[in-house]
Amino acid sequence: MQHLMAVLDRQVDVTRKLISLVPEGKENYAPAPGFMPLGALLRHLGESLGFLKMVVTDGFPSQKDVLEAQTRPPQSATPSEAIQAIEKNYKEFRELSEKMTPDFYNKGIVKTPFMGDAPCWLVLAGGAEHLINHKHQLFIYLKLMGMPVDTGTLYSGVMIEKSKA
């Protein structure tokens, strides 16, 4: 569990930094028709850590409820709202995870809407993967918007200084 938490700590920190680079008022930006608007992506990033809390509390909605929710128009968030949501959801997940036993993490089975019954560690790893995937999506949006981002920004949240050689 400690290794997963180290990965999540880093990913949450970098995601927060990337979100802070989003210019206010660009929530309707989408790279092309059919792509998720930036504001919806920000909201999704802010709420995605709630998924991790559902693993620990066995609080997943039914598959039917999830599919129904996906038919509704996506809701939007500003960069500051997304950062607040990430901080709140991750803090709550960290508090809940401290109560998780190693036995449950390693051997416990969680009922999920799309993975069926799966080991706790696998579902939590999937939650981390989900956050990372959308962090990369945000990075691409920022790049397409002409924001100053590079590989350093993607992996550490800080631009790599160009050598002056």
- Domain spans of the chain? 2-156
Cβ atoms < 10 Å from Cβ of 119: 16
Retrieve residue 75's tokens. Answer: 């809701």
Cα separation, 45 vs 43, in Å, equals: 5
Cα separation, 152 vs 19, in Å, equals: 15
Share of the chain above pLDDT 90, in %: 69
Using the 8-state DSSP alphabet, how is residue 110 labeled?
Answer: E
Q: What pLDDT band is residue 165 in, cutting at 50, 70 and 90?
A: very low
Q: Could you tell me the end-to-end alpha-carbon distance of the chain, in angstroms, rounded to an integer?
A: 44
- Collapsing DSSP to helix, strand or coil, 120 comes out as helix
Angle at which helix 2-20 crosses helix 120-144, to 10 degrees, equals 20
Sign, CA torsion 15/116/54/9: negative
What is this structure's pTM? Answer: 0.89
Q: Does residue 134 have a pLDDT over 80?
A: yes
pLDDT at residue 163 in the model: 45
pLDDT for 88-116, tens place per residue? 999 999 999 999 999 999 999 998 888 88
Class of domain 2-156: mainly alpha
Retrieve residue 127's tokens. Answer: 């939650």
pLDDT at residue 60 in the model: 78
